[in-house]
Amino acid sequence: MNLPPQAVEALLDELWFDMDALCRLAGVSEPWLHEHLEGGLLPRRPFAPLDAPRDGLRFDAADLRRARRLAGLERDFDAVPELAALVADLEDELAALRARLRRLGLD
């Protein structure tokens, strides 16, 4: 089954991951994830009480992309977590600005 990239991204954006799944998919350890959550480098999204996993947290595709990016920056450039988060934030801002320029026809 070959889906266009937009369809796959839309499907991923509707998925929610628990902590174990996020660690496995991002290739990070649970202590790494806890450190980044506590430092505010990754967002905390609590589940509603009825569908709460054991740790009470859930993550979406954007969180997965950010965790992968942070881990990659830390690993590849030996960056401290705060620097990796700053670089990821700047990359996100740059992508948003480029998208805005495209929408305005100024690319």
CATH fold group of domain 5-103: Multidrug-efflux Transporter Regulator; Chain: A; Domain 2 (1.10.1660)
Query: Model confidence at 8, in pLDDT bands (50, 70, 90)?
Result: low
Closest CA relative to residue 43, chosen from 61, 21, 20:
61
Cα 22 from Cα 59, distance rounded (Å): 7
Q: Which secondary structure element, helix H or strand E, spans residue 16, and what is its range?
A: none
| pLDDT of amino acid 27 | 97
Domain ranges of the chain: 5-103
Q: What is the pLDDT of residue 13?
A: 62
Task: Report the percent of the chain where pLDDT is more than 70.
Answer: 79
Task: Tell me how far apart the alpha carbons of residues 74 and 11 are, in angstroms, rounded to a whole number.
Answer: 28
Tens digit of pLDDT for each residue in 35-76? 999 999 998 876 654 555 566 788 999 999 999 999 999 999
Residues 6+ away with beta carbon under 8 Å from 107: 98, 101
Mean pLDDT of 14-19: 84
